């Protein structure tokens, strides 16, 4: 069965990939080293992935022919913007698996509420690469710790039940980036309701237990639920929790208040850090798409960094021409890790822009997300989860 149980049969993601094929070698380079060497590795990996899929995926065969595109043409960074893209809606409307289903070891789905759910089908090689990529990104940001145990409160679906949700897979993966203590999943399954519910009582008890133990704690998942937990804790105990100052938060899904109003990311980080008694630099956020797979994670200053395993192109929403730094447009996401699904180059429904650098000292561009495009917006996982609040 192509579900999360496959994780238990794979080698640890902190071990290097054994293969040195171009598409694997890229993910052994440092996540945030931008140099001629890493650029060469990225282009080589893209050529290999584009060629592999271009010979097998009907949708890419037709797209390459229509665009007059050849994978061998991707020789330098300047050539990357010429890679044809698939619009994200196509991945929600069609089953576009490249390989025979017998080769698929994990199938992930988004949890959007609009009736359109993206699917991502991974063969073993693709799964190994995306796991390794995530580890390298978090390692490069100082967010891994295999020496000290962390207890977890995960604001997401219990992976034992939600076996194919991308968010459940992500949070299960993230909880492995440190030595594991106790893990509490806050979205529990109700047999009576035949649906998930937010177990706020259980979350408060877990928070109090972890606080009393005084060990390291990491909160993972949708931000609105983390904030709700701290407020509920205060209402019951007359104060906010005070965690070990080495504790941390990794959120994902957008900053919405309970009234579904957008909250400034920098303000949110400060409020949540103060509520937990931890430094603000320990509150990080993650942006990702199940269709794309590359994690864009905050640095200590709260900015998303583009790792060397993907490229982001900002395109004019009318002409689709590439735009420069600081210009807002539709975001195209490119990565070579996939051999099982043709989303090597995806034009998203997200608006955003790129900045050339960050004051934190990491090299590479910074990604700013500016919201969803369109009149009828595609609804993502966070909005779906928010119905439980």
Residue 336 lies in a domain: yes
DSSP letters for 47-59: HHHHHHHHTT-HH
- Residue 70 in this model has a pLDDT that exceeds 60: yes
Q: Is residue 3 very low, low, confident or very high in pLDDT (cuts 50, 70, 90)? A: low
- Residue 110 in this model has a pLDDT that exceeds 70: no
**Under 8 Å CB-to-CB from 51, ≥6 apart: which residues?**
71, 72
The pair of three-digit structure tokens given for residue 20, joined into one six-digit string: 């040195």
- Residue 258 in this model has a pLDDT that exceeds 60: no
- Total domains in the chain come to 1
Token pair 């698929």 in the structure block, residue: 104
- Residue 20 in this model has a pLDDT that exceeds 90: no
Residue 218 lies in a domain: no
What pLDDT score does 347 carry?
Answer: 97
Residue 158 lies in a domain: no
Across the chain, what does the average pLDDT equal?
89
The residue segments making up the domain with residue 8 are 4-128+306-352
Alpha carbons 99 and 85: distance in angstroms, whole number: 19
Residue 109 lies in a domain: yes
CA dihedral 187, 13, 216, 154 (to 10 degrees): -10
Residue 114 lies in a domain: yes
The residue with greater pLDDT, 278 or 4, is 278
């Amino acid at each position: 069965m192509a579900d999360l149980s496959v994780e238990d049969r794979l080698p640890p993601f902190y071990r290097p990939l054994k293969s040195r094929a171009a598409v694997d070698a890229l993910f052994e380079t440092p996540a945030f080293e931008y140099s001629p060497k890493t650029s060469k590795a990225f282009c080589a990996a893209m050529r290999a992935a584009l060629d592999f899929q271009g010979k097998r995926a009907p949708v890419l065969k037709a797209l390459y022919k229509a665009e007059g595109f050849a994978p061998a043409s991707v020789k330098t960074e300047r050539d990357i913007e010429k890679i044809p893209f698939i619009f994200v809606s196509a991945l929600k409307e069609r089953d576009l698996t490249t390989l025979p289903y017998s080769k698929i070891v994990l199938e992930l789905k988004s949890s959007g509420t609009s009736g359109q759910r993206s699917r991502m089908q991974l063969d073993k090689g693709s799964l190994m690469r995306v796991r390794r990529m995530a580890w390298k990104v978090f390692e490069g940001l100082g967010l891994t710790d295999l020496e000290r145990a962390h207890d977890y409160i995960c604001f997401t679906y219990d992976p034992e039940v939600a076996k194919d949700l991308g968010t459940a897979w992500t949070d299960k993966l993230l909880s492995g980036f440190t030595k594991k203590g106790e893990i509490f999943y806050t979205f529990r399954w109700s047999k009576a309701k035949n649906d998930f519910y937010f177990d706020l009582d259980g979350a408060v008890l877990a928070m109090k237990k972890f606080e009393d133990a005084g060990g390291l704690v990491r909160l993972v998942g949708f931000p609105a639920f983390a904030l709700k937990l701290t407020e509920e804790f205060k209402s019951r105990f007359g104060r906010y929790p005070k965690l070990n100052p080495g504790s941390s938060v990794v959120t994902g899904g957008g900053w919405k208040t309970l009234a579904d109003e957008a909250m400034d990311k920098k303000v949110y980080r400060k409020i949540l850090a103060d509520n937990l008694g931890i430094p603000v630099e320990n509150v990080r956020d993650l942006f990702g798409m199940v269709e794309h797979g590359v994690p864009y994670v905050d640095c200590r200053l709260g900015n998303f960094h583009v790792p060397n395993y993907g490229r982001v192109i900002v395109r004019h929403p009318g002409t689709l021409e590439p735009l420069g730094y600081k210009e807002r447009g539709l975001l195209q996401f490119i990565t070579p890790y996939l051999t099982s699904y043709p989303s090597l180059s995806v034009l998203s429904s997200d608006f955003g822009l790129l900045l050339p650098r960050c004051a934190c000292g990491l090299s590479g561009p910074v990604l700013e997300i500016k919201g969803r495009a369109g009149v009828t917006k595609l609804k993502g996982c966070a909005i779906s989860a928010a119905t439980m609040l």
